[in-house]
Structure 1
């Protein structure tokens, strides 16, 4: 029960990092993840493809749907639904992420991201031979790959990794001007934890090639319970296909759980003097770019028990002509596996299967997989303290909920309105600055006191109201707090006024002793131009919850803040007539306090006004006018 309560608390606390999904379970363990997301499909229903895989739309998994764009290549209602015909494009934000719950931390996942580009923007300069957009693909704060697209080609990337949390985030990030990230499909599959465990879980595997030999049919789900896609081999020479005679194949000895369907048949050379050369086209082309690789090769005898006196099949795996494995005798009705994990390679590295001198039969192979191994993965996500504080801000100000994924990672793609510490892959990033000037925030400040790494907070030029929270004075590292040009009221907490190390900017508020700026019925709009699909004029005020079917207004940031695209950070505020700043000398804070209002006695702290949050002198003005008019009336009546 305690665990259930903890899960519910986490779900409430992290609105932009968690979403609810329906998980389909064809995999072996009960809580397995099997999610197929058609990006750009906005229908409320699901559909099933020719492989009996159930696909769902993507709106439940993203937070920036109102500023993204959806395109469908076909407009006829008679056209069958297919993920290759839809796409979601992201014209705003540094990065845009899909967040998928996976049940628990430590899940080993296969994630496949697919992209199909066509001229969905009706570009007059478009050509079928022109390159498509290029952008970055990321998972859980780690660089995955650079996506390179061209018209009408389907490009897919697969990664296998162990998730560090109970959700995983897949992000696309803009890296070039005028080249907008997009995505067509996203698929997640749980793997048994023993699978691919020859590689340490602090590294990820990126698919280079996965081939089935002896068949011309692609093998995937349901024949492969994990929905790995096994592509028929086509590059062998001096070979022939051999149909297997075994009724079933025992795969229990193979740690990576190959499907029986890829082991039924095999390919062999036409003689013992020929070798099988494996496909390495998915590896880097240059020898200078050699990478660590992981390869799994599968061998299963296809002929019934051989005549031991005349027939013998034995083979070896060689790398660049040097023996890598010992002698392999493929078993009938089961499988023998060779794992290659401790070498670097590139596309011209030769992986060959050859007969031994004792073999009377040619070499064969049933299937194989080839992966590159990444560098060490980020071991720590953004601090839980900061995630909790950011979630509180996102709950209060709905305009901030379009940001998702890790707030600080990768470091070059942090959220536009935060700054983070530069850390190693082993250190936990901390948020050091909040840059929310001119974001159209409206309402009181929530409690984000857990963010004790903050050094700078800039909320100037919004429509914040209510009192200044006391917790701001307890942030141990804070050296700049800019709350100017809002409608905050009440007294200034002494924890702020007595802080000798804090630059405090409060100009243009309704605090005790200050003249209040005119009250507008609506908050100021966010700085910067509206996003491509701008909010209609009857949309709700920025910073509050919009209707579910209406876009939230906000800034239109791209790679980095710049004039006209993002609100200025404001961390170096312009000259102002009232800057409350602690002097460098010791002793109590010596800032120049505003004079007390008429009718009040001098005191060290002026009590905050009672009643509503509107800080105006209208009641006193009205009373004065009434008295003045009454006196004039009295004088005339006596005259």
Structure 2
């Protein structure tokens, strides 16, 4: 499992593998209702008039009517509505003005995961993908663009709200490449102990992947409501356990369901390889690569799985082995070079 962040939210590198958001099954919905804890959640369905409970996650969403004075409610075409959860059905479009903002009340001295979601869905019947900017306050967060008409785009930050600040402003800026719009805004309070490498600056998410699984995860499986996408390869085998694993004592607190699956090379002498290339937009940006390890397979006595981590073909970290289900290993790597390849070999 790995998470990749950039340390400044004014740039956005490109990860070589992309993920697609999928809906959750009815079993997950039942789980959400039984173990619901949304303390501090701010869940805004943009363009929606009424509050409601989202059936696939059990999350309670509110209207954005009182959070912005501008924009127009629009709806994606009916042919796309059954592909994703209800929050993508409506959106707020901003055809007037260059800069339009949401003013959201928050708890000061709190670390938040802030996620903005967008699904075009040909809402304007123009079948022309727009591009525009997303700002947090006066600062550029990212440029919003789209793969196609029917695939959602998500932008996510880990941001600390200062002690004297009670509001944040999330703004959409017209760059003359199409009308800005937004489908949903979500804020999730994080324990201040999570992601301690994030200090005065915000961390912008590039990718977050779970290996050894066939389905993505989010809330309620992850109580912090992070999106974990599937990352597999034809040369990998999947390993998993049904026994819960407690990783709550570690700073990034990955959910147990994510740590219960893993990948290993089909070839015993092979490796798990990850490649990443920095965006040319900002060569000075720094990046954090979070790696999560757990032993989910019961091995013969005195035959531990020794892990080797190589970077760009050279041994990067001293070998280590983990005990079955009782141990957990976490690495937070910081780097700023233009290209990286990681190899994991047991």
User: In the alignment, is the contact (CA less than 8 A) between 1:244 and 1:266 conserved in 2?
Assistant: no
Counterpart contact for 1:269–1:275, Cα < 8 Å: yes
Do the aligned partners of 2:294 and 2:322 also contact (CA within 8 Å) in 1?
yes
Q: Distance in 2 between matches of 1:192 and 1:81?
A: 27
1:94 aligned partner: 98
Q: Equivalent residue for 1:172?
A: 172
TM-score, L = length of structure 1: 0.45
Q: Deviations over 1:238-262 (max 9, x none)?
A: 21011226x2212144211110110
Instruction: Deviation per CA, 1:223-274: give whole Å up to 9, x if none.
Output: 100000111113x2421011226x2212144211110110112111123421
Measure, in 1, the Cα distance between the counterparts of 2:217 and 2:47.
Answer: 27
Shift of 1:290: 6.7
State the distance in 2 between where 1:332 and 1:237 align: 25
- Could you tell me how far apart the structure 2 residues matched to 1:33 and 1:167 are? 14
Q: Which secondary structure state, in structure 1, belongs to the residue aligned with residue 257 of structure 2?
A: helix
In the TM superposition, what are the counterparts of 1:282-431 in structure 2 within 5 Å?
284-286=278-280, 289=283, 291-304=285-298, 306-308=300-302, 311-333=303-325, 334-341=327-334, 343-346=335-338, 348-355=339-346
Which position in structure 1 is the counterpart of 2:40? Answer: 33
**C-alpha distance in 1, partners of 2:224/2:315?**
32
Shift of 1:315: 1.0
Confirm whether residue 251 of structure 1 aligns to residue 247 of structure 2: yes
**8 Å Cα contact 1:328-1:336 kept in structure 2:** no
- Please name the residue that 1:275 is paired with: 271
The answer on whether the counterparts of 1:284 and 1:290 sit within 8 Å (CA) in structure 2 is no
Q: Secondary structure at the match of 2:319?
A: coil
User: So what's the TM-score if we normalise by structure 2?
Assistant: 0.80
Distance apart, 1:276 and its partner CA: 0.6
Cα gap change, 1:39 to 1:319, in 2 (>3 Å): same
Q: CA deviation at 1:158?
A: 0.8
The question of whether the paired residues in 1 share the 8 Å contact of 2:210 and 2:229 is answered with yes
**Residue 261 of structure 1: SS of its match in structure 2?**
helix
Check conservation: 1:298, 1:337, Cα contact below 8 A: yes
Question: Measured at CA, do residues 331 and 166 of structure 1 come closer, stay the same or move farther in structure 2, by a change above 3 Å?
Answer: farther
Alignment of 1:162-241 (within 5 A): 162-164=160-162, 165-176=165-176, 179-199=178-198, 201-234=199-232, 236-241=233-238
Unaligned runs of 5+ in 2: 1-35
- Which residue number corresponds to residue 14 of structure 1? none
TM-aligned CA deviation for residue 151 of structure 1: 2.1
For this pair of structures, how many residues does the alignment match?
305
Change in Cα spacing, 1:140 to 1:332, as seen in structure 2 (3 Å) is farther
- After superposition, the CA RMSD in angstroms is 2.6
**CA contact under 8 A between 1:117 and 1:152: conserved in structure 2?**
yes
Q: Which residue of 1 aligns with 2:87?
A: 83
Alignment of 1:73 with 2:76, yes or no, is yes
Tell me, what secondary structure is at the counterpart of 2:317?
Answer: coil
The question of whether the paired residues in 2 share the 8 Å contact of 1:209 and 1:279 is answered with: no
Contact 2:274/2:343, CA 8 A, preserved across alignment:
yes
Distance in 1 (alpha carbons) for counterparts of 2:213 and 2:264? 12
CA contact (8 A) 1:253 1:335 kept: no
Q: Which has more helix, going by share of residues?
A: 1
Higher Rg: 1
Q: Deviations over 1:10-38 (max 9, x none)?
A: xxxxxxxxxxxxxxx826xxxx5212111
Structure number with the higher strand fraction is 2
Change (3 A) 1:328 1:85: same
C-alpha displacement of 1:323 = 2.7
CA distance in 2, matches of 1:306, 1:260: 24
**CA distances 1:378-435 after superposition (whole Å, capped 9, x unpaired):** xxxxxxxxxxxxxxxxxxxxxxxxxxxxxxxxxxxxxxxxxxxxxxxxxxxxxxxxxx
Deviation at 1:120, TM superposition (A): 2.7
Q: Secondary structure at the match of 1:324?
A: strand
Shift of 1:277: 1.1
Shift of 1:305: 5.8
2:66 counterpart SS class:
helix
Structure with the bigger RCO (C-alpha within 8 Å, sep 6+) is 2
Separation in structure 2 between the aligned mates of residue 301 and residue 63 of structure 1, nearest angstrom: 52
Query: How big is the shift at 1:191?
Result: 0.6
